[in-house]
Structure 1
Amino acid sequence: MNVGFIGIGSMGSLLIDTFIGSGALKPSQITASNRTLAKAICLADRHPGLQAVPSNRDAVIDQDLVFLCIKPMEFKNVIDQIRDVIQPQQIVISITSPVMIEQLEESLPCKVAKVIPSITNYMCSGVSLCMYGNRMTDADKNRLNHLLSYISEPMPISEQHTRIVSDLSSCGPAIMSYLLQRFIDAAAEETNIPREEARIVASEMLLGTGQLLTAGGMSPEELQRRVAVPGGITAQALALLNRELDGVFNRLIRATHAKYNEDLERVKVSLYGKEVNGP
């Protein structure tokens, strides 16, 4: 299987590194293009055998799968560049949430899927959120899922839930690490514990907590019940958090959805132009 990548920014390069590191793909199976060719060449130097190419068209020709790891406003130009070389049997996979499958199917003659990865995939952990276009057969879905299974748990979702599930899987690591950072900072400020010592303890705690919530089969509510003895120290801490964080995550979700809806509209205008009688 040959796989092309258009765009090797933060997530594109992460996917390539992880596919190779996990044994899912050999470097010789990957072709990559990037707006800055030098960056693709550096990636090829890091993974001998990987082919860095100067144009997006070259990253599409003779590939079985093509990952589009680009920003929403770059789609129009990239689609225009590759439309006449893409073949019906090829599968184009977008990792950009505000670009809809229907829009890609209208613009390209091939099979289309959307996959939202997570930084946790770098550790061959977490989920990959998978959505499939109408031209994808069961065999196509199995082929893509098999590739993704090397680095994640492929999870089919409805496209209408893209944003909220992405909040949990893709934004979640940054949100949880921010909360952990504040916990560590406060521990160092209040007690003078060396910050690095606090970081190690807290990070190992978060790893163990994740294992309890997955392999351990515990729900968040059960875990809290097991740790927080009524009237105890942890119960006191949870009571404070319940007061101070009331509504915070609701506002967070409303903020991410507002930005997502803004991006949806910008992509629509970029692909189709403004409606004559539109606002």
Structure 2
Amino acid sequence: MKVGFIGTGSMGSLLIDSFIRAGALQPEQIRISNRTLNKALELSDRHPGLIVCRSNTEAASKSDLFFLCVKPGEFKTVIDEIQEQVHISQIAVSITSPVQLSHLESALPCKVAKIIPSITNQAGSGASLCIYGSRIKEEDRLLLESLLSSISRPTPVLESHTRITSDFSSCGPAFLSFFVEKWIDAAVEMTGADRPTLNALAGEMLLGTGKLLTEEGFSPEQLQERVAVPGGITAQALSLLGNRLDGLFHQLINTTHEKYEEDLAKLDIAFGKTVNRPRY
């Protein structure tokens, strides 16, 4: 199987590195193109055998499956460039969350899907969100999920829930690391504790917590109940967090959705396709 990647920025290169590291793809199977050629050449230096294409059209037309790893504002330009060279048996996969399946299916003759990866996939962990177009057959879905399972847990979601599920799977690592960073900053300032030690402890804590939630069957509520003894230190601290964070997560969701809706409106205009969608 030949796999193309149009765009080798942060997420495109992460997927390539991760698939190769996991042994799911060999460099010789991969064709890449990028707006800045030097970035693509740097990636090929890291993975000898990887094929650098001189155009997006070449990367798409010579692949059985190709990933579109470009920003929302660049998407329509790339689609216009490749659409006449794409055929019905190919699979196009967007990793750009505001791009809708209706946008892709209206502009490309091939099968289409949307996959939202996460930085956690770099560690062979986390989820990858899977949304499939109407032309995707069962064997196509199995092919995609087999590839993705080498670096993540493929998780089908409704397209209408793309943004909220992405908040957890893709934005979540940044949100949690921000929380941990501020917590460690305060600890170092107030106690003089060693930052590298606290960083390591926080990482192990997050890893263990994730395993309890995914492998041991705990819900977040059950986990809090197991740790927080009534009247104890943890319970008092949780009460503080509950009071201080009241309403914050509603604001967080509003913020991510407002940006998503802004990008979506621009894409609707670019593709000449407006669809009434629920806000959440």
The normalised TM-score by structure 2 is 0.96
State the match for 2:50 in structure 1: 50
Q: Counterpart amino acid of 2:109?
A: P
Q: Distance in 2 between matches of 1:273 and 1:220?
A: 40
Q: Counterpart amino acid of 2:197?
A: E
Distance 1:207 1:119, change over 3 A: same
Q: Distance in 1 between matches of 2:156 and 2:39?
A: 32
Q: Distance in 2 between matches of 1:62 and 1:194?
A: 52
State the match for 2:10 in structure 1: 10
Contact residue 103 and residue 273 of structure 2 kept, 8 A: no
State the match for 2:277 in structure 1: none
State the match for 2:177 in structure 1: 177
Per-residue CA deviations over 1:14-73 (Å, capped at 9, x if unaligned) read 000000000000000000000011111110110000001110011012311010000011
Q: Distance in 2 between matches of 1:272 and 1:73?
A: 14
RMSD (Å) for aligned C-alpha atoms: 1.1
Q: Distance in 1 between matches of 2:25 and 2:229?
A: 49
Q: Distance in 1 between matches of 2:47 and 2:238?
A: 47
Q: How many residues align?
A: 274
In the alignment, does 2:158 pair up with 1:167?
Answer: no
The normalised TM-score by structure 1 is 0.96
Contact residue 130 and residue 154 of structure 1 kept, 8 A: yes
Q: How does 1:92-103 map to 2 (within 5 A)?
A: 92-103=92-103
State the match for 1:271 in structure 2: 271
Deviation at 1:206, TM superposition (A): 1.2
Q: Distance in 2 between matches of 1:112 and 1:249?
A: 33
State the match for 1:74 in structure 2: 74
State the match for 1:186 in structure 2: 186
Q: How does 1:110-259 map to 2 (within 5 A)?
A: 110-259=110-259
Contact residue 5 and residue 33 of structure 2 kept, 8 A: yes
Deviation at 1:210, TM superposition (A): 1.0
SS at match of 1:84: helix
Q: Counterpart amino acid of 2:221?
A: E
State the match for 1:277 in structure 2: none
The percentage of counterpart residues that share the same residue type is 58
SS at match of 1:57: helix
Q: Distance in 1 between matches of 2:181 and 2:36?
A: 34
Q: Distance in 2 between matches of 1:206 and 1:143?
A: 31
Of 15-24 and 179-188, the range deviating more from structure 2: 179-188
Structure 2 gap ranges (5+) = 275-280
Q: Distance in 1 between matches of 2:95 and 2:213?
A: 27
Deviation at 1:273, TM superposition (A): 8.6
Divergent runs of 4+, >6 A: none
Per-residue CA deviations over 1:147-197 (Å, capped at 9, x if unaligned) read 001011111111000000000110000000100111111111111111122
Contact residue 5 and residue 12 of structure 1 kept, 8 A: yes
Q: Distance in 2 between matches of 1:70 and 1:191?
A: 44
Contact residue 32 and residue 53 of structure 2 kept, 8 A: yes
Contact residue 73 and residue 270 of structure 1 kept, 8 A: no
Q: Counterpart amino acid of 2:183?
A: F
Q: Distance in 1 between matches of 2:261 and 2:69?
A: 20
SS at match of 1:141: helix
Per-residue CA deviations over 1:115-147 (Å, capped at 9, x if unaligned) read 000001001111110011111100111111110
Structure 1 gap ranges (5+) = 275-279
Q: Distance in 2 between matches of 1:133 and 1:203?
A: 37
SS at match of 1:83: helix
State the match for 2:278 in structure 1: none
